[in-house]
Amino acid sequence: MGRRRTPKKPRKASPKSLENAAIYYLKRYASSAANLKSVLMRRVLKSAGHHGTDVEEGRGWVDDVIFKLQNSGYLDDQKYAETRIHSLYSRGLSLRAIRMKLSEKGVPVNIVTEALRVLSEEAENPEFQAAIITAQRRKLGPYRTRGDRQENRERDLASLARGGFSYDIAVKVVDTDTAGELEDYITLDPS
């Protein structure tokens, strides 16, 4: 049996350590301001629990770091929302699911709405196209390779409904005769 490692001691929070942590995090992950703030606040809370540092002082440092990164252009909720929307759309997520994912990351509603409006201008009926992409990925409806399509119709409709698509769109995708008919609808390259 191996020896148990002792848990690593958290670093003491300081303005410089929080800024370094934020920059390191942003190099590895795209993030919204609210998400980065929660990441940094977890560090502050760990530091307060272990070193006895002041949480309110740490909260002020986190706000300063976020402000500094936003002003320098490293942190931009608008760009984050646009790139994340295109990424999620290319995976076939419904607009409703995309909106929920971005709200979980703390992106303001007005920014999400604007970015989704831009997507709607780029793609004709993006919700329908996302449903087609989902059907391709999950092999639903006309993309089903084995088994009777009619036997699996309800299952396919339920899968699309769980993905956030309306009943009308799900029926339109699942009941299409051939995959080629659906692929004619895709106007925006999801990649």
- Report the percentage of the chain scoring pLDDT > 70: 96
CATH of 77-122, one of 3.90.70, 1.10.3470, 1.20.120, 1.10.10: 1.10.10
Please, which pLDDT band fits residue 58 given cuts at 50, 70 and 90? very high
Indicate if the pLDDT at residue 187 is higher than 80. no
pLDDT (mean) for 121-137: 92
pLDDT (mean) for 1-27: 89
Q: Any idea how long the chain is?
A: 191
* Nearest-angstrom CA–CA distance, 60 and 79: 25
Kindly report, residue by residue over 142-161, the tens digit of the pLDDT: 998 877 888 999 999 999 99
Indicate if the pLDDT at residue 169 is higher than 70. yes
> What global pTM score does this model have?
0.82
Indicate if the pLDDT at residue 191 is higher than 50. no
Kindly report, residue by residue over 90-114, the tens digit of the pLDDT: 999 999 999 999 999 999 999 999 9
Cα torsion at 11, 103, 173, 119 (round to 10°)? Answer: -100
Q: Within 10 Å of residue 8's Cβ, how many Cβ atoms?
A: 6
* Nearest-angstrom CA–CA distance, 72 and 142: 49
Please, which pLDDT band fits residue 189 given cuts at 50, 70 and 90? low
- As a whole number of Å, the CA-based R_g of the chain is 22
Kindly report, residue by residue over 63-95, the tens digit of the pLDDT: 999 999 999 999 999 999 999 999 999 999 999
- Domain ranges in the chain are 15-72, 77-122, 126-183
